[in-house]
Amino acid sequence: MTERGPVTIRTIENGEVERFARAFRATFAGEPSEHDLVRLRAILEPERAFAGVDADDEVVATAASFSFELAIPDRPGLPCAGISGVSVRADHRRRGLLTRLLAALHDQARERGEPIAALWASEAPIYGRFGYGPAIPTREFEIRRAHAAFTVPADPGLVRLVDTSTARREFPPIRDAARAERPGLLGRSSGWWDHLLDDDPPDSRDGAGPRRHALIPERAYAVYRVRGSWDDGVPNGQVFAHEVVATDAEAAAAMWRFLIDTDLTDRTVTGARPVDDPLNALVLDTARMRVVDGWPLYLRVLDVAGTLRGRSYRADGDVVIEVRDADLPANAGRWHLEVDGGTVGCDRTDRAADLSMDTRELATIVLGGVRTTQLIGAGRIEQHRPGVGAALDRLLATDLAPWHDFMF
């Protein structure tokens, strides 16, 4: 048996995007198309893309961060490292490469002043040990057109279909307006907008037609596809509503009515929606609507004080949280979170802890998307005085549930 030499972790050069992409895709049993490479070159930040390179100069592991900003109502967004492209070649698994890659990404993010990291987990058991918690739960809806009466009037006539260049111009400000209200939504760079709106290779359509762009000017947009199909002469196509963002109730109702009533379809399937999506209250016959838990967005608190000071609060309160964090000792210890008339303090303290938790649990509750009391009930957070879990929930509560919708 040949000895496996050491693997060096380093950032990639500009010219190595293809090597990075090939190594990553191979782990997911595929290979990058020419189109993937063009897209990746537009969005990948080589100085934030790490490769594990073996003694033969083969790329055997990959992971990268994107520079995102996580929406926080009434505050500037929180700089956020969006972790992606994680792969370890089959013959190098379980030798600590993911552990080393994440340590490198976390160190770099902290140096860049990003107090928080986010990722979509391919499998739930992977990232908890690295301090990630499922902080933004999402829901996916399947609405049957025959049972899709609404509770309010809706005017689909407000909607018009637009070309890519109009979408490229009109959609971003609508999303930015939604981000002002909705915690969690990550901002998109222009490269990411191009990826959403321009990239549409037939092999990524999953049997559906090309992407369509629907707009209610300044109020709502939708990015969706239609898959046509027939059953015994009866049309039963599907609408895939990948991204639907509306800034007011009338526009939301009009856009959903328009999508659901697409000719020759019998159902609409949504992408990741917030748990308090008004769509749930728009449809009258909710019993005939299928609602499933979607993928949650995982967060990792890289800087406790930076994250807790960086978010907004709707209530005053005062709690001492003890955080355990073996990987990032700068986070470990007792933190006094105090909110008083809009002024937020989060400092180390010697006071006795009200609550104790691992950093993974802190990440899970930090945006207010999952309740502290729920994790206390599950034995994952220790409450040292009755009622302090509920007090922390009142402090962390947000007007709208946190949401994030696009994959990265």
Ligand X SMILES: CC(C)(COP(=O)(O)OP(=O)(O)OC[C@H]1O[C@@H](n2cnc3c(N)ncnc32)[C@H](O)[C@@H]1OP(=O)(O)O)[C@@H](O)C(=O)NCCC(=O)NCCS
Which residues are marked as active site?
127, 408
The answer to whether 91 contacts ligand X (rule: CB under 6 A) is: no
* Residue pointed to by tokens 């929180």: 78
Pair 27, 89: CB distance under 8 Å: yes
Q: How many residues bind ligand X (CB under 6 A)?
A: 17
Residue among 314, 339, 301, 299 nearest 400 (CA): 314
With a CB cutoff of 8 Å and minimum separation 6, the contacts of 407 are 120
Q: Please, what is the minimum distance in Å from the beta carbon of residue 1 to ligand X?
A: 19
Distance CA 64, CA 43 (A): 11
Among the listed residues 35, 41, 75, 95, the single contact to ligand X using CB under 6 A: 95
204 binds ligand X (CB under 6 A): no
Among 19, 35, 93, 205, binds ligand X (CB under 6 A): 93
- What's the DSSP call for residue 3? P
- Minimum CB–partner distance for residue 186 and ligand X (Å): 16
Contacts of 120 (CB under 8 A, 6+ apart): 84, 295, 297, 298, 407, 408
Binding of residue 282 to ligand X (CB under 6 A): no
Whether the Cβ atoms of residue 368 and residue 397 lie closer than 8 Å to each other: yes
Contacts for 59 with CB less than 8 Å, ≥ 6 apart: 16, 19, 20, 22, 23, 51, 52, 53
**Beta strands in 106-216, from DSSP E residues, in sequence order:** 116-119, 133-136, 139-144, 160-161, 212-216
Piece of 125-133, 294-302, 365-373, 379-387 that binds ligand X (CB under 6 A): 125-133
Near ligand X by CB under 6 A: residue from 29, 94, 153, 206: 94
For residues 51 and 61, the answer to whether their CB atoms sit within 8 Å is yes
Find the shortest distance in angstroms from Cβ 287 to ligand X: 35
Of 295 and 313, the one with the shorter C-beta distance to ligand X is: 295
Q: Count CB-CB contacts under 10 A for residue 83.
A: 27
Crossing angle for the helix pair 164-179 and 190-197, nearest 10 degrees? 120
Of the candidates 43, 103, 104, 126, which one interacts with ligand X according to CB under 6 A? Answer: 126
Determine if 96 is a binding residue for ligand X (CB under 6 A).
yes
Q: Could you tell me which stretch among 121-129, 192-200, 241-249, 275-283 binds ligand X (CB under 6 A)? A: 121-129
From the CB of 170, what's the least distance to ligand X, in Å?
A: 32
CB of residue 227 to ligand X, shortest distance in Å: 27
Name which of residues 24 to 63 contact ligand X (CB under 6 A): 27
Identify the residue among 9, 37, 38, 121 touching ligand X (CB under 6 A). 121
Segment lying near ligand X (by CB under 6 A), choices 80-88, 165-173, 187-195, 339-347: 80-88
Q: Which is nearer to ligand X, 84 or 268 (CB)?
A: 84
Distance, in Å, from the CA atom of 351 to the CA atom of 155, rounded to the nearest integer, reads 57
Whether residue 341 contacts residue 352, with contact meaning beta carbons closer than 8 Å, is answered with: no
Least distance in angstroms from the C-beta of 80 to ligand X: 16
Amino acid of residue 292: V
User: Which residue, chain included where needed, has tokens 């301090």?
Assistant: 131
In the complex with ligand X, the residue whose CB is nearer, 84 or 383, is 84
One-character DSSP codes across 230-249: EETTEE-EEEEEEEEEESSH
Tell me which stretch binds ligand X (CB under 6 A): 82-90, 213-221, 338-346, 369-377: 82-90
321 binds ligand X (CB under 6 A): no
The contacts of residue 66 (CB under 8 Å, 6+ apart) are 43, 45, 48, 81, 82, 84, 408
Instruction: Using CB under 6 A, pick the residue from 17, 81, 98, 118 that binds ligand X.
Output: 98
When binding is defined by CB under 6 A, the residue of 86, 196, 260, 353 that contacts ligand X is: 86
**Residue of minimal Cβ distance to ligand X:** 98
The verdict on 151 binding ligand X (CB under 6 A) reads no
CB of 24 to ligand X, least distance (A): 8
Pick the binder of ligand X from 99, 151, 164, 190 (CB under 6 A). Answer: 99
Q: What CA–CA distance (Å, rounded) separates 81 from 72? A: 15
Residue 301 CB, shortest distance to ligand X, in Å, is: 19
| Positions that interact with ligand X (CB under 6 A) | 27, 86-88, 93-99, 121-123, 125-126, 129
